[in-house]
Amino acid sequence: MTILLTGCDGYQGWPMLMRLGVKYPDEKIIGVDNFTRRHWVAEVGSWSAIPIYPMDERIESFKEFFKLNNLEFRYMDLRNWSVVDNLIREEEPRTIVHYAAQPSAPYSMIDAEHAIDTQMNNVKSTLNLIHSINKNNLDTFLIETTTMGVYGTPNIDITDELLPVEFRGRKDTLPFPAQAGSWYHWSKVHDANNLLFAYRVYGMNVIDLRLGIVHGIRTEESERDKSLATRFDFDFWFGTLFNRFAAQCVAGFPLTIYGEGGQTRGYISLEDTIRVTELAVEAEKKGYNLINTFLETASVKMVAEKIQEAGKNIGLNVELKSVPNPRKEAEKHYYNPSNEKMFNLGFKSKYDLISSLEVVLKDLSEYKERIVVKKDKFLPKVLREKL
Ligand SMILES: NC(=O)c1ccc[n+]([C@@H]2O[C@H](COP(=O)([O-])OP(=O)(O)OC[C@H]3O[C@@H](n4cnc5c(N)ncnc54)[C@H](O)[C@@H]3O)[C@@H](O)[C@H]2O)c1
């Protein structure tokens, strides 16, 4: 049996590839990537705080530490229909974990070219997978991590069930409306709709894991050795909130809160998201499944305060500083999404926020110089000048 994982060089992809390798020692685990994330981060002038090893060295190191020889890597651009279709026809994967995407909202908002490339990359890659599974008459489970950002911030509770609607005296249950906030997030709305349609028209087995913002460094496998580490981005474009604030804290740079800092989102640690994805692979859920995947919600200000507290506990003192919000978003709003279905998969978190943040800050401190040298990348130029 074969499991295919797309985006295996990425932040989540590499630890998930190792998790699958360890969990399914008798299966072939194929990872694909075109290393485009490495190029995108270089394009904005930044780098991963934690140095990441070339893919062949990562795989050799995995072999050495876990005494397993079941990981395979294929360099591949998922936008290319014939290479995707050849791979899927030859390997007939029982499950595909689809992570490959351009995942940054600010990067997708740079200009027309970045917006269009993001949508073409993300939507085309997913369509190629859907169509190849269907064309080859496979019963493959297709698991994609979309994003909680698909929903935006509606003034009602967010559910991953169908939404009961009553309008002009008639009732129905409909997919929850999408109100995404960037071209990237809209690419995931399109993916989510295409996944639902693939289920409706082809009966495809789909799990849409609608992910909150992921944070952290360590997973059970990656913490074994530096050569197994995953990337950790901290720049304005690719650093997600917790991770960027953690890097700012280590660099002694103020934690920059956009506007009032009331923007509230769902969050989940890297280890927890890998665990949920692992459970989704194990569950082999037939049909269409949408699962909100986050552990807790917090405002930007609350996240900054938590990092500040964890920093203080280990002797790092940073101030909080409000800067003009570079994004068009509500700074005060209602936010109440549900996440029960994630627990129905059997998920239990061992996570403790403050102690985990302390571990992140300690791990990052080792790479302080790599962060400090790029500290002008925490904010876009226009905001740096206002600091
Ligand atoms: N990190 C988060 O906070 C977060 C939150 C919500 C959803 N997600 C989603 O989870 C998935 C994984 O996110 P991540 O943070 O690991 O991102 P990442 O950028 O680190 O990983 C994605 C990988 O896909 C590869 N890739 C992109 N386009 C490709 C293509 N056309 N062909 C082959 N490879 C390609 C990249 O090189 C990269 O290694 C993404 O779909 C993202 O949208 C992430």
* Whether pLDDT at 223 is above 90: yes
CB within 8 Å of 33: residues ≥ 6 apart: 6, 7, 8, 9, 10, 13, 55, 73, 75, 76, 100
Pairing of strands 141-147, 205-211: parallel
User: Does residue 261 lie in a domain region?
Assistant: no
215 part of a folded domain:
yes
Ligand 1 centre from 181 Cα, in Å? 18
Domain assignment present for 280: yes
The closest residue, in CA terms, to atom 34 on ligand 1 is 33
- Return the ligand 1 atom nearest residue 238 CA: 19
- The residue whose CB lies within 8 Å of the most ligand 1 atoms, and thus the one to mutate among 5, 33, 88, is 33
Q: What is the 3-state secondary structure (H, E, C) of the chain?
A: CEEEEECCCCCCHHHHHHHHHHHCCCCEEEEEECCHHHHHHHHCCCCCCCCCCCHHHHHHHHHHHHCCCCEEEEECCCCCHHHHHHHHHHHCCCEEEECCCCCCHHHHCCCHHHHHHHHHHHHHHHHHHHHHHHHCCCCCEEEEEEEHHHCCCCCCCECCCCEEEEECCEEEEECCCCCCCCHHHHHHHHHHHHHHHHHHHHCCEEEEEEECEEECCCCCCHHHCHHHCCCCCCCCCCCCHHHHHHHHHHHCCCEEEECCCCCEEEEEEHHHHHHHHHHHHHHCCCCEEEEEECCEEEEHHHHHHHHHHHHHHCCCCCCEEEECCCCCCCCCCCCCECCHHHHHCCCCCCCCHHHHHHHHHHHHHCCHHHHHCCHHHCCCHHHHCCC
Q: What is the mean pLDDT of residues 188-209?
A: 98
Active site annotation includes 273? no
pLDDT in tens, 330-362: 888 999 999 999 999 999 987 778 888 999 999
Count of domains forming the chain: 1
Told to judge if 188 belongs to the known catalytic residues of this protein, a careful annotator would answer yes
Mean pLDDT across the stretch 42-62? 98
Q: Which of 4, 5, 12 to mutate for ligand 1's pocket (most ligand atoms within 8 Å of CB)?
A: 12
**Catalytic annotation on 297?**
no
Ligand 1 pocket test, pick from 37, 230, 342 with the greatest ligand atom count within 8 Å of Cβ, gives 37
Q: Are 207 and 280 in contact (CB under 8 A)?
A: yes
For residue 317, tell me if it sits in a domain.
no
Q: Which of 24, 107, 184, 335 does the annotation list as catalytic? A: 184
Cα 315 to Cα 261: distance, rounded to the nearest angstrom = 25
* pLDDT at residue 350, as a whole number: 78
Residue among 2, 36, 147, 256 flagged as catalytic: 147
Identify whether the C-beta of residue 308 lies closer than 8 Å to the C-beta of residue 255.
yes
Checking if the pLDDT of 375 tops 80, the result is yes
User: What are 250-291's pLDDT values in tens digits?
Assistant: 999 999 999 999 999 999 999 999 999 999 999 999 999 999
Q: How confident is the model at residue 381 (pLDDT cuts 50, 70, 90)?
A: confident
Report the pLDDT averaged over residues 16-39: 98
Tens digit of each residue's pLDDT (9 = 90 or more) over 84-134: 999 999 999 999 999 999 999 999 999 999 999 999 999 999 999 999 999
* pLDDT value at residue 387: 67
- The per-residue pLDDT of the chain, averaged, comes to 96
Q: Whose CA is nearest to atom 20 of ligand 1?
A: 10
Domain that holds residue 278: 2-233+268-295+336-349
Distance 14 CA to ligand 1 centre (A): 10
Q: Look-up: residue for tokens 């490959």? A: 100
Evaluate whether residue 362 is within a structural domain. Answer: no
Q: Read off the pTM.
A: 0.97
Distance 287 CA to ligand 1 centre (A): 24
In a domain, 379, yes or no: no
For residue 190, give the CATH number of its domain. Answer: 3.40.50.720
Cα 97 from Cα 233, distance rounded (Å)? 22
Q: Is residue 363, in this structure, part of any structural domain at all?
A: no
Q: Evaluate whether residue 307 is within a structural domain.
A: no
pLDDT digits (tens, 9 = 90+) for 75-94: 999 999 999 999 999 999 99
